[in-house]
Structure 1
Amino acid sequence: MKFSKYVLLAAFGLSASLSFADEMKEVRIATEGTYPPFSYLDKGQLTGFDVDMANAMCERMKIKCTIVSQEWDGMIPGLVAGKYDAIVASMNITDERKKKIDFSNKYYATPARFITVKDGGVTGNSPADLAGKSIGVQVSTTQSNYLEENYKDSEIKQYKTVDDAAMDLANGRIDAVFSDAALLYVWMKTKDGACCDFVGGDVINEKYFGVGKGVGVRQGEAELRDGFSKAIAELRADGTYDKINKKYFPFSIY
């Protein structure tokens, strides 16, 4: 795809209508669609924080975008293979991932946390606290990598989605779930999640979780990457970001 012309036009505030009509190829953005409140289906339509941010960034960059759903464990391979042109799916910016793809600046950053059933006997989140316990986590995530390397005395159970793991926790099949704190906070506000609460404090480790979540693009597409970074800064500056944030969370996730 040729990004340079229309990204530069957008960056300098020039009219891109002729270029869009005559030359622009649609920018396809992948999100997961099973990660509420960041991306999920509502009446058959993709919505959520990631989706709203993707649309806002595209509008600011004056590019036409289509958002598609992609299962998490195929997200990076699909981008590299050209199935879509960017990822807006709460993906942590890590050194390991940067070996395969490139990232914009962060558009949000929240810690990882553990949850467990209230009064279920788990009182801390250290490896010793969870030795002999079963912990649910989404497959192919930074949280999964962290558990595999640091909680060797626990049973790590991999799930296709965090919701699947959370429901097994609510039904007494596992002892804890480890995921993004903001996602777990929202789930615990639901009827199913009322069973559970955070245990221990924030888990912050740049080696595993990077510096935040960014827009993923293929390596070598610096203009598209920088266009997303510029759009994020502008949305932060003009208050649009805060409006989207408050739609989903009662606290800042930046």
Structure 2
Amino acid sequence: MKKKGIITKLLLVAAVLGVAGVLTACGSNSSDKGGSSYKSELTESGKLTIGLEGTYAPYSYRKDGKLTGFEVDLGKAIAKKLDVKANFVPTKWDSLIAGLGSNKFDVVLNNVTVTNERKKSYAFASPYIFTQYVLVTKSSDKNIKNLKDIKGKKFAEGTGTNNEDVAKKYGAKTIPSDQFVNSVNMIRQGRVQGTVNALDAWNSYAKSQSTKGLKARAIPASEEPFAQVSPMLNKDSTKLKAKVSDAIKDLRKDGTLAKISKKYFGKDVTMENN
């Protein structure tokens, strides 16, 4: 009888442990699907650490000493959807991607265009901007009318940017420039003959700065497709990428993306056919 009682107790314990195991497994699966496990991929607990320049209006810049701009508001909105705080880390462009690779940031929001080359090393969440290019030269320059005319000409471009890629694609000799304002000044000084950049960056510049002596031509999509701008993350941040993508889709659906865009650009640049 004692032996039979011991066996019965052992079977009961095993059954209880088995049920607990099943419940634990279910909880784990639920956590993965529910999204809470993405937090293990964050560099700092409870915060979405965002790398950006903070010097590129209207995307991210300082106004009265305070960090502001489209991507700042976007970063806060994404973080809110993820139930964490947004932690912005202003960084020079040439150090942004390296900082992401060394896990200094969770994500980069800095008007980064999706390219096949970048996709080899990094992951991209859902796009939030579709950017039209602009060709800026001196107003007295009669030789440069479109992208085909820039072959062999000196153009000021940010190193490693999609603007530099476009300029090189059409045969321009690129001269490094870390800011759009500097690129414009280089044109004025005659150090370069032009620059390819985002139309929205030019429009923002034209609102606060004199454009005398300059001319800008918006490049139609038929000449050069609009750039697709997305959050850039590390390849192994798979769960975080999914959560950021979901957040952007929600923000697009509830009208937040369009609202932020109109605030800083005066129009909705978050749709492919803007």
Q: Which residue of 1 aligns with 2:246?
A: 230
Q: Secondary structure at the match of 2:97?
A: helix
How much has 1:199 moved relative to structure 2? 2.8
Name the counterpart of 2:167.
Answer: 147
Matches within 5 A, 1:171-190: 171-190=189-208
CA contact (8 A) 2:251 2:257 kept: yes
- Residue in structure 1 matched with residue 13 of structure 2 by the alignment: none
Counterpart in the other structure of 1:166: 184
Does the 8 A contact of 2:138 with 2:194 survive in 1? Answer: yes
CA separation of 1:166/1:8 partners in 2, compared to 1, >3 Å: closer, same or farther?
A: farther
Q: Which segment is superposed worse, 230-239 or 197-206?
A: 197-206
| Residue in structure 1 matching 2:255, options 208, 215, 239 | 239
* 1:95 aligns to 2:116 (yes or no): yes
2:216 maps to what in 1? Answer: 198
The equivalent of 1:43 in structure 2 is 64
- The amino acid of 1:214's aligned partner reads S
Number of residue equivalences: 236
TM-score (norm 1): 0.82
Aligned to 1:126, which of 143, 147, 167? 147
Q: Between 38-47 and 187-196, report the one with greater CA deviation.
A: 187-196
* Alignment correspondent of 2:93: 72
Is the 1:104–1:216 contact (alpha carbons within 8 Å) kept by the matching residues of 2? yes
Calculate the aligned-residue CA RMSD, in Å.
2.7
1:109·1:212 contact (CA, 8 Å) conserved in 2?
yes
Greater fraction strand: 1
Question: Quick one: structure 1 residues 219 and 140, their matched pair in 2 at CA, closer, same or farther if it must change by over 3 Å?
Answer: same
Give the C-alpha shift of residue 212 in structure 1: 0.8
CA distance in 2, matches of 1:230, 1:121: 47
5+ residue gaps, structure 2: 1-29
Q: Which residue does the alignment assign to 2:237?
A: 221
Write the distance in 1 (CA, Å) between the matches of 2:143 and 2:33: 51
TM-score, normalised via structure 2 length? 0.77
1:73 is paired with a residue whose SS is helix
Contact 1:188 1:197 (C-alpha < 8 Å) held by counterparts = no
CA contact (8 A) 1:170 1:192 kept: no
**Identity across the alignment (%):** 26
When you count helix as a share of all residues, which structure comes out higher? Answer: 2
| SS of alignment partner, residue 56 of structure 1 | helix
What is the distance in 1 between the residues matched to 2:237 and 2:151? 44
- Distance in 2 (CA, whole Å) between partners of 1:212 and 1:131 is 24
Give the partner amino acid of 2:157: V
Q: What letter matches 1:61 in structure 2?
A: L
Q: In structure 1, what is the Cα distance between the partners aligned to 2:33 and 2:78?
A: 12
